Structure formats: C-alpha cells, structure tokens
Chain A
C-alpha cells in the first residue's frame, strides 16, 4: 500500500524543432519517404520552370497581333482582346453597366447585412433584401419598363455561368430542404412523392435533363407559346440540384439524436417550430461541407449549358479561338478559364470552412 503526494501541474515542454530535424522527420524519415521526396522534387523541377516560362517569362502582354505573338510563350494579348466576350458574351457593350450594378448591389447588400449585426429588425431587413434582390437583378439584366430588353440568348461568358450557378444554388436550397423533410415525413403520400421525385432525378444525368428542358419541353407548348431557353435550362438545373441538396440534408437530419426531437416535443413546440428552431439548424450545420461540395459540383456542371447552345465561359474559348485573327490560341483560353474557375471554386471551398467554424456545434472552448 502506498499513498502518493499530490503533484503540481508543470508547463508543457518546449517542442520546437530545428529545420534539419523537421526535414528528417517529415521528408526523410525512412528510405521509401526519401525516395518519394526526391521524386517529387524532380517532378517539380520538370514542371514548374516549363510552366513559368510559358505563362510568364516568354509570354506576350503587349498589344500585338496573333502572328507577332511568339509560339514558345503564352499570348495573353488574346485574352485581353477577348476579355469582354469571356465576361459578358454577346451582351451589348453599352449595357455592361447593368451586370456591373448587379454585382455592386450584391456586395452592398451583403455589407448592409453585416453592418446590422444585432439590429432589432435585422431579420426583417435581411429578408426584405433577399426578396428584393432577385427582382432588381433580373430587371437590370433582362430589362423591362423603361429599360431596353436584352434577350437571354445574348447573355454569355462568366456572367451566364454565374447567373446559372447562383440561381441554381439559391433556388435549389429551399427546395432541397423541403424535399429532405418530405422524405422524412410521417405522411405516406408526401414521403412517397418525395422519394419518387428524388430517386427519379438522381438516376438521370444533368445533361439529359438539360436536353429535356431545351428540346422536349417545347413540344408540349402550344404554337406561339414559348418559354425562354435560359429559363428552361435554369428550371432543369434547379430540379436537378435540389435533389442532391435534399440527399445531403437528409444525411444531416439522420445525424440528429432522437433525444432532440423528444425534448422539443416534450416542450410543446409545434412541428414547424421544432423543425425550424431545433432540428434544421443542427442538421444544416452538419451538412455545410457537403452542401458547399454539391454547389461546387453544380458550378462546374454549368459548363454543360454549352450542349444546348448557351454560351458559358468555357464555350467562349471555343468561340473566340475560332476567330481567324486569333487562330490556335485555345490553350491560353482554357488555361484562363481554368484559373478563373479555380479562383471561384477555391473561394467557395474556403468560405465553407469559415462557415463551419462560425457555426461549430461543439463549442468545446
């Protein structure tokens, strides 16, 4: 038998290590790792200088013609010359201020919402902004009373990509929530309809739905009755995306312990209160990474609009590089689109991390 003396807490020992030791522990810890490290270094040596030379050191930015641009370096002049097409498509240049204002308003509204923080009417004001914004934005982009109408077949480039992705994301989200709740519903008819809808759309590729929307749907219209092609495509995208959101949110709903439902029920909360105040906030929080992942996939999928004759940013490469003045510059075009896409998608992915941290459920200090 023994009794031990109570010990005082000590400070954590300093675990800082030098460069050499870091290298040895992380890159050269054993023979296999050393070989892999060297191999990786060799690959970097092969790729980076070649790419850097092509994209930067041998590249041309100056105002020159296609012939004056060298073949060994990138000809960024082509991108600069065609930038308007890449961004706006065939939208008339004198109306460029309209999509510009759409972006400025979006930023301004977000800024206002941030400023309101704990304001008494914050929820009401934000709700109003969310309702007003799409109306203003579509009025600006499309036109209407006292504003020249610009048909959607003139829309294109990054603008079209962003419109399609944003509308798809914003509209599919509430629909996805409803479908997810429908699939969990205790009412058999609602559950059945939700399951049928989800499983049907999930079994069909987006491209089929876009074809349906652009080719098959008009067959059901009467003569003279027509629906805008972009609108049809957007509806197709929303129908498609809502199903994936629904499945992602269903995963979140299933992760909520039964006790949460019981505690909410025992308090006498109504179904809507229980869902809105207790269940959905927790389920959505868990689902953030997957929801954003699904939005990123949708953003990439908007390039399929090309198939039904809508000119998104990717299809602009094809279009502009067949300009006889700029033949053979599609590599630059694709690299440019890749960089633009990457910046947007990587920002979305980082934003998802920020959201996750902000709404972290654990709060363990």
Chain B
C-alpha cells in the first residue's frame, strides 16, 4: 500500500456552462477501496467516469498507473485495458451470450486465445455463482444475475482497477445483497476499487476511505468509522441522517 495508482490533480469539468466538477484533488493507493457517496447530481459518477475518459474534462490532470490521460486515443485505450467498469444498468451486450460477453475484451483487446479466454470466463462465472447460465443471453437473466455477469466481465481482463458506478441502484431490493456479496469478496482480494454507491453497509464493511461529494466538490473524506460516527461538515451530517433513516 504505497504507490498512488490514481492521481487526480485540480480537475475541473463543465457541461456547457454548468460547473460539474470543481477543483477535485485526490489520490488512490494501490489495493485501496474508496467509496464515493453524495446526493444525486453531486458529480460523483462524472468523477469516476473521468478516470477511464468516458467523460472529457477541461482542466486538470488524471494519472492512472503512471499514464497521464490525454486526448491521445492510444493512451486512453491503454488505460481502459487496465481499468474495468461496472455500470448502473449493467450494459451487457444483448446480442451476445453470457460467455461471449465475457470473452470479448480478452480476445479482441488483450489478444488472448479463445480457449484461454473461455476458461478464465467460466472460472469467473463460477466465482459469481452463475456458471450454469454461461450459454444464455443477458435478457434471460434476473437483474442481480446480470450485474454479477457484468462484474465477471469486468474481471475477465485482470484489471488493476475496478470502477463501480452505482452498481446496485437499478436492482430490486432482494437482489442487492447478491451483488454486494460479490463485491465484498472482491474487495478482500486486493484489487483497487473506486465505488460510487449509496450502500453504506458496504462502505462500513470494506472501504478504506469514504468520500462525500456535493455540488461538484469533495466536501469530506475520512476512514469509514470516523466518517459515519463523527461527520464534521453540516452537509454530510444532513446527508447521513437522510440516508440512514430510511
């Protein structure tokens, strides 16, 4: 736990006139689990989507594993091949079977042979508990199963960093647990994770650090214990009160 695998320096982003990210500075160490929370529209999704350049930014710099993000498409693809993302709406490819969804990136981006990619994919499906669904298509699976496939797909390329963009927000309550379980298992394995989520239980259990954002700024960050027990800023106190009183 020494090197900073993600470094974000005075990052600013605007959507048109709207200042979406205001002077963001933060670093993530290797193997660190960071949870980002905040009210909707606070810029938390935008922030992690900047890390793999799904969103362009106008000012500041992001360095991922020693590579500085720029408009250079080669560098962007290089970073994307090391950073995997899990989306709120899964974004599985509906025209491909589960196994083909998993082997796509290993075969086409990482030049793995079909057999190697397939073996690894089956192993990962086994790990998320749906190996028997390998030949099915995404729409035949429940939401929770689809999100577990999406996590397996993200892991298929052996990424150094995993980005989670509200992975449980689109799920029925009874399916949230099965996805969180997979994420907790993952957290124990030493992969760097950056999670945008409202699951405070998850944050308490596995996060090394929790960040609170509001109106495009980082308002507070702390170790989970201090973050939940002694929130300093008024806005975080209010946010926690609202989110925990449900």
Known: A363-B139, A363-B140, A364-B139. A270 touches B77 (CB 8 A): yes
Which one of A260, A266, A363, A365 has the greatest number of beta carbons of chain B within 10 Å?
A: A266
**B239 sits at the interface (CB 8 A):** no
Known: A264-B93, A267-B84, A363-B140. 6 other contacts (CB 8 A): A262-B87, A268-B77, A277-B104, A363-B94, A364-B139, A365-B140
Docked-complex contact A267 and B140, CB < 8 angstroms: no
**A203 sits at the interface (CB 8 A):** no
Q: Which of B73-120 contact A (CB under 8 A)?
A: 77-78, 80-81, 83-85, 87, 89, 91-95, 104-105, 108-109
Q: Give me 21 A-to-B residue pairs in the complex whose CB atoms sit less than 8 angstroms apart, sorted by A's number.
A: A259-B87, A259-B89, A263-B85, A263-B87, A263-B91, A265-B80, A267-B81, A267-B84, A268-B80, A268-B109, A268-B157, A269-B104, A269-B108, A269-B109, A281-B95, A282-B94, A359-B95, A362-B94, A363-B94, A363-B138, A364-B139
Docked-complex contact B95 and A282, CB < 8 angstroms: yes
**B184 sits at the interface (CB 8 A):** no
Interface of A, secondary structure class, is helix
Cα A285 to Cα B95 in complex, Å, equals 9
Docked-complex contact B95 and A267, CB < 8 angstroms: no
Which one of B85, B93, B109 has the greatest number of beta carbons of chain A within 10 Å?
A: B93
For residue A265, which residues in chain B have a CB less than 8 angstroms away from its CB? 52, 54, 80
Q: Mark A243-270, 1 if CB is under 8 A from B, else 0.
A: 0000000000000010110111111111
Q: Mark B113-147, 1 if CB is under 8 A from A, else 0.
A: 00000000000000000000000111110000000
Cα A262 to Cα B77 in complex, Å, equals 13
Docked-complex contact B54 and A262, CB < 8 angstroms: yes
Docked-complex contact B77 and A361, CB < 8 angstroms: no
Q: Which residue of B lies closest to A263 (CB)?
A: B91
- B177 to chain A minimum Cβ distance, whole angstroms, is 23
Cα A269 to Cα B140 in complex, Å, equals 25
How many chain A residues sit at the interface, stated as a range, is 20 to 34
Q: Which residue of B lies closest to A282 (CB)?
A: B95
**A166 sits at the interface (CB 8 A):** no
**A273 sits at the interface (CB 8 A):** yes
Task: Tell which of A262, A267, A270, A285 touches B104, judged by Cβ atoms closer than 8 Å.
Answer: A267
A-binding residues in B (CB < 8 A): 52, 54, 77-78, 80-81, 83-85, 87, 89, 91-95, 104-105, 108-109, 136-140, 157
**A278 sits at the interface (CB 8 A):** yes
Docked-complex contact A263 and B80, CB < 8 angstroms: no
10 closest residue pairs by CB, A with B: A363-B137, A268-B80, A263-B91, A259-B91, A268-B81, A267-B105, A266-B85, A268-B109, A268-B77, A281-B95
Docked-complex contact B77 and A266, CB < 8 angstroms: no
Docked-complex contact A262 and B80, CB < 8 angstroms: no
Cα A273 to Cα B104 in complex, Å, equals 10
Q: Which residue of A lies closest to B94 (CB)?
A: A361
Task: Tell which of B80, B136, B138, B139 touches A266, judged by Cβ atoms closer than 8 Å.
Answer: B80
Docked-complex contact A263 and B108, CB < 8 angstroms: no
Cα A277 to Cα B94 in complex, Å, equals 12
For residue A282, which residues in chain B have a CB less than 8 angstroms away from its CB? 93-95
Which one of A285, A363, A364 has the greatest number of beta carbons of chain B within 10 Å?
A: A363
Cα A362 to Cα B140 in complex, Å, equals 8
Q: Which residue of B lies closest to A270 (CB)?
A: B77
For residue B91, which residues in chain A have a CB less than 8 angstroms away from its CB? 257, 259-260, 262-263
Docked-complex contact B54 and A267, CB < 8 angstroms: no
Cα A285 to Cα B96 in complex, Å, equals 13
- A360 to chain B minimum Cβ distance, whole angstroms, is 10
Cα A154 to Cα B216 in complex, Å, equals 74
For residue B104, which residues in chain A have a CB less than 8 angstroms away from its CB? 267, 269, 277
Which one of B108, B136, B138 has the greatest number of beta carbons of chain A within 10 Å?
A: B108
For residue B137, which residues in chain A have a CB less than 8 angstroms away from its CB? 363
For residue B138, which residues in chain A have a CB less than 8 angstroms away from its CB? 363
- A126 to chain B minimum Cβ distance, whole angstroms, is 19
- B228 to chain A minimum Cβ distance, whole angstroms, is 31
For residue A259, which residues in chain B have a CB less than 8 angstroms away from its CB? 87, 89, 91
Q: Which residue of A lies closest to B150 (CB)?
A: A263
Q: Which residue of A lies closest to B108 (CB)?
A: A273
Cα A362 to Cα B78 in complex, Å, equals 33
Docked-complex contact B105 and A269, CB < 8 angstroms: yes
Q: Which residue of B lies closest to A266 (CB)?
A: B85
For residue A281, which residues in chain B have a CB less than 8 angstroms away from its CB? 95
Known: A259-B89, A262-B87, A363-B139. A268 touches B95 (CB 8 A): no
For residue B89, which residues in chain A have a CB less than 8 angstroms away from its CB? 259
Task: Tell which of B81, B95, B105, B157 touches A361, judged by Cβ atoms closer than 8 Å.
Answer: B95
Cα A268 to Cα B81 in complex, Å, equals 5
- A176 to chain B minimum Cβ distance, whole angstroms, is 20
Which one of A268, A285, A361, A365 has the greatest number of beta carbons of chain B within 10 Å?
A: A268
For residue B87, which residues in chain A have a CB less than 8 angstroms away from its CB? 259, 262-263
Q: Mark A171-208, 1 if CB is under 8 A from B, else 0.
A: 00000000000000000000000000000000000000
